[in-house]
Structure 1
Amino acid sequence: MSSVAHAVEGAAVITKRNLIKIKRVPDLLVFATLSPIMFVLLFAYVFGSAIEVPGVNYKEFLMAGIFVQTVIFGSTFTGASLAEDLQKGVMDRFRSLPMARSSVVLGRTVADVGINIVTLVVMSITGLIVGWRIRSSVLDAVLGYVLLLLFAYAMSWLMALVGLMVKTPELVNNASFMVIFPLTFIANTFVPTDNFPTVLRVIADWNPVSAVTLAARQAFGNTNPVVPQPDAWPMQHPVVYTLIWVVALLAIFVPLAVRRYQKTATA
């Protein structure tokens, strides 16, 4: 059996193990979905009454931003889970199994794609209930969801490296919150960036979160075609810019995370 096939086979086993864990501990999935539902309701009914977006219903403007914020925060589950496995000694059991070293991290990230799919489904249903509508074709909408999952998968590898480095779930959550929270708010996730101060507007326009959000909005048909596009290149080509970030994140953090796991496995 080739090394690639061996790694994939091991990753499939780890993925199954992680999904079974969620089935046996449903609280993990419940809390992963309750938070985005709360955000949808909060922004739609509390802030939505005070925020106006030219030519677009705010609830439709909002949903893409909520999607992006949720899948990014969901990526911390990857790092926290790996840190928990290290802390509880589960990694020691994995080391004794005849599987490729990359299988553990690969299986963890793939399992979290399944969690993100469930979360997006729940959020979409919630959005439809509060008034969100997809105004594009089915194919465009599917491509929008795929783009969200791709970016989330790339982010999960970054968080996997963090989880393998700090080895404590609490540290993963605290450290990631300090970075992800401003990253998702200094963007076009919840409000247009037109009235941002100049420096913050430039940061927001080049923030990959803004690109993913705009790409999703366009895919769902939740933009106003009459409003002029921003001058920044990422906002004029959000899909391309998002894919560039996905490739860059995977190219950097996949080998780093696997190498870090190998070091913990030989420690």
Structure 2
Amino acid sequence: MATNPAVAARDIGGIAGRNLRRLVRTPQLLVFTAIQPAMLLLLFRYAIGGAIAVPGISYVDYVVPAVFLEAVMIGGMATSIGLAQDLQSGIVDRFRSLPMARSAVLAGRTLADLARSVFALGLMVGLGTAVGFRFHAAFPSIVLGLLLALVFGYAFSWLYATIGLLTKDPETAQVAGILPFFILVFASSAFVPVATMPSWLQPFARNQPVSITIDALRALFGGGPAYHHVWLSLVWAAGIFLVFFLIAARLYHDLTD
């Protein structure tokens, strides 16, 4: 088993390249990655947004940063499905027979899906601008916000990696991956202010990682004070990454021993 960092980096790059080539050969995967956040954006912008009033901000500027984060989180679902497919097809067993770093399969998969998230986020920036969203901050703050969304999405992809390793079945992984997404996104400040929710739900909705990250993005894109939410979001992202990286690594180790 290769342990040299340079060799491990080469192996991770090889696995990431394999998954990116698959995306190039099946561009419909990229298209469908973008369809769901685009539908949510159009739905809340035109069908529902007119009935929602948010004090001090237009609804389009309120909801679009949430869609940016949703786009990278939805892209991360491909990690669970892809890993489950690889386990089911036996390709992971083939990787085991090669003199490659064990970390390459998981790290390469998540990095390839990060590239998919960059694509989806770029599309949502274009679509959000087309439906009326505007950045009201300096360029560095905007870039920081986009990077923060990608960092959080990458950390979240390790939760999806864990789901894929636990389920070992693409259909089950797809269903299981939707659950944390819907719980965290719809019980958050993504679409309506937390103050409009039932009192028993507000503490969870206000302090969970998706709400904190969306609030950070709104502050960064709107030019408001963002430090508090940004560092809390980074702490959440680091915690999610560390916990699920360790769990996924252990599950993969057990599966391949």
Output the TM-score relative to the length of structure 2: 0.95
SS of the residue aligned with 2:110?
helix
Output one character per residue of 1:220-241: Cα deviation in whole Å (capped at 9) or x when no partner: 1176x8xxxxxxxxx9821111
The structural deviation recorded for 1:24 is: 0.4
Rounded to whole Å, the distance in 2 between the matches of 1:185 and 1:121 is 23
The structural deviation recorded for 1:70 is: 2.3
Rounded to whole Å, the distance in 2 between the matches of 1:91 and 1:217 is 41
Rounded to whole Å, the distance in 2 between the matches of 1:222 and 1:192 is 19
Rounded to whole Å, the distance in 1 between the matches of 2:17 and 2:128 is 30
> CA 1:259/1:3 → structure 2, altered by over 3 Å: closer, same or farther?
farther
Q: Percent identity?
A: 39
Report the more deviating stretch, 239-248 or 13-22. 239-248
Output one character per residue of 1:32-59: Cα deviation in whole Å (capped at 9) or x when no partner: 0111111111110111111111121111
Equivalent residue in structure 2 for 1:262, among 248, 253, 257: 253
Output the TM-score relative to the length of structure 1: 0.92
Rounded to whole Å, the distance in 1 between the matches of 2:4 and 2:253 is 15
Query: What amino acid is the match of 1:237?
Result: H
Query: What amino acid is the match of 2:199?
Result: T
The structural deviation recorded for 1:196 is: 1.4
Residue 40 of structure 1 corresponds to: 41
The structural deviation recorded for 1:73 is: 2.4
Structure 2: stretches of 5+ with no match in the other structure: none
The structural deviation recorded for 1:19 is: 0.3
Residue 230 of structure 1 corresponds to: none
Residue 200 of structure 1 corresponds to: 201
Report the more deviating stretch, 64-73 or 142-151. 64-73
Q: How many residues align?
A: 256
Residue 212 of structure 1 corresponds to: 213
Query: What amino acid is the match of 2:242?
Result: A
Residue 170 of structure 2 corresponds to: 169
Which structure 2 residues correspond to residues 69-108 of structure 1 after superposition, within 5 A? 69-108=70-109
Output one character per residue of 1:55-88: Cα deviation in whole Å (capped at 9) or x when no partner: 2111111111111222222211101100001111
Checking the alignment, whether the CA contact within 8 Å between 1:74 and 1:116 is kept in structure 2 is yes
Rounded to whole Å, the distance in 2 between the matches of 1:173 and 1:70 is 16
> CA 1:116/1:50 → structure 2, altered by over 3 Å: closer, same or farther?
same
Residue 251 of structure 1 corresponds to: 242
> CA 1:66/1:222 → structure 2, altered by over 3 Å: closer, same or farther?
farther
Q: Which runs of 4+ in 1 moved over 4 A?
A: none
Structure 1: stretches of 5+ with no match in the other structure: 226-234
Query: What amino acid is the match of 1:141?
Result: I
Rounded to whole Å, the distance in 2 between the matches of 1:259 and 1:178 is 23
The structural deviation recorded for 1:198 is: 1.3
1:242 corresponds to 2:257: no
Residue 155 of structure 1 corresponds to: 156
Residue 228 of structure 1 corresponds to: none
Rounded to whole Å, the distance in 1 between the matches of 2:14 and 2:183 is 36
Query: What amino acid is the match of 1:58?
Result: Y
Which structure 2 residues correspond to residues 26-65 of structure 1 after superposition, within 5 A? 26-65=27-66
SS of the residue aligned with 1:104?
helix
Checking the alignment, whether the CA contact within 8 Å between 2:138 and 2:223 is kept in structure 1 is no
Checking the alignment, whether the CA contact within 8 Å between 2:72 and 2:118 is kept in structure 1 is no
SS of the residue aligned with 1:16?
helix
